[in-house]
Structure formats: structure tokens, C-alpha cells
Amino acid sequence: MPYKERQSIVSLLTTTLVAVVFFVYVLPRYPTGNPYSPAVFHFWGLAVVILIPVSIAANIAVSIAFSIVYSMATQEKTSLVSDERDQLIELRAIRNGLYVFAGGFSLAMGSLAIDMPPSVMFIIIMVSGYGSGLVSNLTQIFLYRRGC
Amino acid sequence: MSAWVIRNNIRTLRFHHDEMTQQQLAEKAGVTRQTIVAIEKGKYSPSLELAFRIARAFDVPLEEVFFVEDSQP
């Protein structure tokens, strides 16, 4: 299995791990009471502000650790380089991920339009953010398996 | 407009260049071995720049490496 394909699988696992940790540790702290109170917006604002850097840092750290372990294990240097085909695959993966996030964002706005609580909107955005990462990584794995 | 596909002679050219390995060609062209594999199998059509770099690696004109063929319906 080529390096890039393994890297996509590692990235997929990292994204899933961060999402699981987020839902396990953050969601139980959801404030009880009025679903339209400022405390609810404060909670979601804080959750997003924490999630974004934690997610980016986790992905970078795991990616660096993986490339070090991989090059130590295989003594391979050339596969760490990205060429035009890798960039094309990455662009297609990002495109598909953005489609998912755009769909989720539209659904989230739709939930507000039909007078659902703001938490529903935030949950849809969070889930579509995770779904976006998932689809992006799965697209990469699929395209690497297929050739391009 | 009739449909056509891009084919290549990379495998043959590698054979005629002292059985050049895919890794050696990849290093000469500045891409990964996986990309050479994908091009050789016809799963990926390279950019014009990469096509020229592959042709230069074999020291032949571009049309000796890549050619078009009418696709069968």
C-alpha cells in the first residue's frame, strides 16, 4: 500500500478520534434550561473555538509522527514527495468534502428557518464538518486505490 | 466528435533502456513511482509538462511515448 494511501487512512482515523473525543467530553457539558439562552450560544462558540485548533494540531502531530515512523520503517524518502497526481487527488478530495459541508451548512440554515433550536443548527454543522473530513479522506483512499 | 483515449509506450521504452525500473523513471521525471504505474496502466493522463519530462527521460520525441487511439464503443 503506497505511503499516500496509508496517510489518508491515518488521517481518517485521527479525524474520527477527534470527533469521538469531542462528542464524549464536550456534549455532556451542554447547559440545561432554556435552549435559546446566551449560555447555549456561549457553549457552542467555545466548543467550536476549542475544536478547530485541537483538530488541526492533532492532524499535524499525527501526520508528522506517521511520516517519521514510515520513513524509519521503510527507509523510503521519495514517496514523501507530492507530485501532480497527488495534488489532483487532494483537490478532488477537498472538492467532495466541501460538497458535504455545503450540504450540511444548507441543512443547518434550514433548521433555523423551520424554527428549530440553535443547538440543532450547531450539531448539524459539527456533524457535517466531520462528514466533510470523512468524505475527503475516503475520496483520497478510493482514488489512490483506483489509480486516479 | 469521435472519442479517443491516450495510450503510451512506456513499458516498451523502459525495456529498450536496459529494463529501466519504474522507480528510476520516476526519479528522472520527478514524480512518485505510483504515478508512473498509473500512467503506464493508462489510469492517469499526465500533464503536458510531465509528458515531456518522461519523453526526455527516454531521449525520444513526445509522440513516441504517448499517442491517441480511437476508443471502441
B4-8 and B66-70 beta bridge pairing:
antiparallel
Contacts of A83 in chain B (CB under 8 A): 30-32, 35, 50
pLDDT at A72: 87
- CA quadruple A43, A44, A47, A50: dihedral, nearest 10: -110
Predicted pLDDT at A31: 87
* Angstrom distance (rounded) from CA A11 to CA A144: 14
Q: Residues of B with CB below 8 A from A81's CB?
A: 32
Q: Which of B31, B32, B54 is best to mutate for the A interface (most A CBs within 10 A)?
A: B32
Q: Is A91 on the interface with B (CB under 8 A)?
A: no
Predicted local confidence at residue B73, as pLDDT: 62
The C-alpha of A14 sits at a distance from chain B's nearest C-alpha, in angstroms, of 25
SS3 A138: helix
Residues of chain A falling short of pLDDT 70: 77-80
- B16-68 per-position pLDDT tens digit: 999 999 999 999 999 999 999 999 999 999 999 999 999 999 999 999 999 99
**pLDDT value, residue B66:** 97
Q: Which amino acid is at A19?
A: A
**Mean pLDDT confidence for B4-16:** 95
What is the pLDDT at residue A11? 94
Distance in angstroms (rounded) separating the CA atoms of residues A24 and B37: 43
A75 touches chain B (CB under 8 A): no
User: What local confidence, expressed as pLDDT, does residue B1 receive?
Assistant: 63
The pTM of this model reads 0.87
